[in-house]
């Protein structure tokens, strides 16, 4: 039969020669191989202290963005929920009342915004669908937990810190988003 590729290796089923039946040369060469691995670079890292860099397109937990004045950007348009293939996002919208202009950027806002992290497949379609720059996927991943309920992330879990109250934490979160955007581009 003609071989399909030139990479075919014919299996050699001859009985072992005397040298092979001594086993010891093969064992010694194997032991040399393992010994040489003593001095090789370790493939693993000391995890909590050292971390591997994520790939540029890594998609982790979501955050809800604020603008510079600390107003929520989300208008509860529902595009993210529509685009979500796993149907992980639910939201309820509400109308902005008088006196809440400092809290919400537009007239409509999300009163409830929940992502079920157990359903989410971290595809990033919500991020692409969002017209208001309101949702981003970060480089953190969901920590382990005991109950299913705790994996439904509400607004308090998702919103980034308020720049008027915690400017440093906000800058950090914003910086992450900017870096993320640049990397994806």
Binding-site size, another protein (CB under 8 A): 14
35 binds another protein (CB under 8 A): yes
46 binds another protein (CB under 8 A): yes
**Among 129, 116, 138, which residue's Cα sits nearest to residue 65?**
138
Q: Is the dihedral of CA 123, 128, 129, 135 positive or negative?
A: positive
Can you tell me whether residue 27 is helix, strand or coil? helix
Find the binder of another protein among 25, 30, 102, 175 (CB under 8 A).
30
Please state the closest distance from residue 139 (CB atom) to another protein, in A: 24
27 binds another protein (CB under 8 A): yes
Which C-beta is closer to another protein: that of 44 or that of 147?
44
**Distance in angstroms (rounded) separating the CA atoms of residues 157 and 7:** 54
Tokens for 31, please give them: 């032991």
**Distance in angstroms (rounded) separating the CA atoms of residues 42 and 39:** 9
44 binds another protein (CB under 8 A): yes
Please state the closest distance from residue 35 (CB atom) to another protein, in A: 7
Find the binder of another protein among 8, 20, 25, 31 (CB under 8 A).
31
Please state the closest distance from residue 27 (CB atom) to another protein, in A: 6
118 binds another protein (CB under 8 A): no
Distances (CA, A) of 68 to 55, 81, 126, 170: 28, 25, 22, 9
Tokens for 84, please give them: 């979500």
Tokens 């990479």, residue located? 7
Which C-beta is closer to another protein: that of 30 or that of 85?
30
**Distance in angstroms (rounded) separating the CA atoms of residues 38 and 67:** 53
Find the binder of another protein among 41, 52, 165, 185 (CB under 8 A).
41
52 binds another protein (CB under 8 A): no
- Where do contacts with another protein occur on this chain (CB under 8 A)? 27, 30-31, 33-35, 37-38, 40-44, 46
């Amino acid at each position: 039969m003609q071989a399909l590729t030139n990479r075919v290796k014919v299996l050699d089923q001859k009985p072992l020669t005397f040298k092979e039946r001594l086993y010891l040369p093969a064992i010694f060469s194997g032991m040399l191989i393992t010994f040489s691995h003593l001095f090789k670079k370790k493939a693993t890292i000391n995890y909590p202290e050292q971390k591997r860099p994520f790939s540029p397109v890594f998609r982790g937990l979501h955050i809800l963005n604020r603008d510079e004045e600390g107003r929520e950007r989300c208008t509860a348009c529902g595009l993210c929920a529509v685009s979500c293939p796993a149907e992980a996002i639910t939201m309820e919208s509400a109308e902005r009342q008088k006196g809440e202009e400092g809290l919400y950027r537009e007239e409509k806002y999300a009163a409830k915004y929940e992502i079920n992290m157990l359903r989410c497949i971290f595809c990033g379609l919500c991020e692409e669908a969002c017209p208001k720059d309101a949702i981003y996927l970060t480089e953190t991943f969901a920590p382990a937990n005991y109950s299913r309920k705790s994996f439904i992330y509400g607004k308090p879990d998702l919103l980034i810190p308020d720049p008027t109250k915690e400017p440093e934490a906000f800058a950090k979160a914003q910086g992450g988003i900017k870096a993320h955007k640049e990397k994806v581009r």
